[in-house]
Amino acid sequence: MQTVAVAWQVYELTRNPASLGLIGVANFLPIVLFSLLGGLVADKVDRKKIFILSLISQTILALTLFILTFSHLVQPSLIYLILFLVGVAQSFSIPVRQSVAPNLVPKEYLMNATSLGTLQYQSAIMIGPAIAGFLIGGAGVPAVYALNAVSFLFFIAAIFSIKVPFQKHDQGEVQFNLSSIGHAIKFVISTPILYTTMILDFLATFFGTATILMPVFAKDVLHVGAQGLGLLYSAPAIGGVLAGLLVAIMHHKIKHQGRIIIASVILYGAATIGFGLSKTLPLSLLFLSLVGFGDMVSTIIRNTIRQIVTPDYLRGRMSSITRIFFQGGPQLGEIEAGFLAKAIGGPATVVIGGAGVILITFILVLKSKVLREYHGKELAV
């Protein structure tokens, strides 16, 4: 909900697509500057404590956005600063979130658990933006920020009830130094299926990300207002929910994971092109749902592969490296999309991005035998 509110508010304040690109800058910088440190902390310090402290920080930042907006003191520069600080907090919470699942779920159920976790997350993404759109139209942006701040309290209470085992250090004590980070990087480089899927993830999301341009499509292309904006943000999550259900149901039968990843990324690119060409809301929602479906099938399988092949003592750092690719690609893509849209328009930017996804996928497939032939039999239980 806050993502929708921020994009709408910044575009309302500036009426400039390039300002939406600066949202990507504010979100990307913490990923580059703090992700590796966050991963190291997740492997060294009690993960549950780090998670709770990060959530408390994000609660305070959401409340700050509410106060600034409600008192009419908000400026785009302040929004960018708060988004940067949220990104710093997430640099510590996300490695923890991604690294604890294998400690809580038996290995034979990990793909199923990943699917259900994705289903939960995508359900929130589907419902949240739709509510945000109507809430912005009815009560204004401050209401969204206030509700987001309150929601963190439930999140923190839930984390307190979970027993998170302290991470095992199979290769000796993890140290706060560059050598510990370098050890994780060497592990990723020496595991072809890891670095290949990370590169594909980064490049596909860099070219294919159209989310930041949703206010442009809602206002200037489809003319559907704040309510329509919420639906546009929610549509990819509809496909994500269907993907989560499908993989959860069929996880016993899923083989040839490499080919499934390739096909799902191509679908993601093709549907992105369709969205860029669409001139009606129903057709746009259909294509965005396909975007979400392709993205989530690939995400579930990639995340399961990474958790299984990575030892526990490295999972925090591996997750932080993954975040640089997984979230760095979309954030850089938002920067590129915002500035390119100012030059050639939103629809042309999205179409070019979708075509770039397909081209990059074919190039990587030709060069990566590991991805083409990866069966992942150890994941099929």
Nearest by Cα to 368 from 185, 187, 195: 195
d(Cα 347, Cα 280) in Å, to the nearest integer? 12
Nearest by Cα to 213 from 361, 354, 72, 81: 354
pLDDT of residue 171: 47
Residue 255 near residue 129, CB atoms below 8 Å: no
d(Cα 156, Cα 227) in Å, to the nearest integer? 30
Q: How far apart are the first and last CA of the chain?
A: 36
Does the pTM surpass 0.85? The reply is no
pLDDT of residue 196: 86
Q: What is the pLDDT of residues 14-63, one digit of tens each?
A: 888 778 878 878 888 888 888 888 888 877 778 888 889 999 999 999 99
169 φ, ψ (degrees, to nearest 5): -105, 80
Q: Which residue has the tokens 């440190």?
A: 37
User: What's the angle, vertex CA 35, arms to CA 34 and CA 37, rounded to 5?
Assistant: 65
d(Cα 301, Cα 378) in Å, to the nearest integer? 12
* Stretches in the chain below the pLDDT threshold 50: 171, 378-381
- Domains of the chain by start residue, with CATH: 2-379 (1.20.1250.20)
pLDDT of residue 71: 93
Residue 228 near residue 133, CB atoms below 8 Å: yes
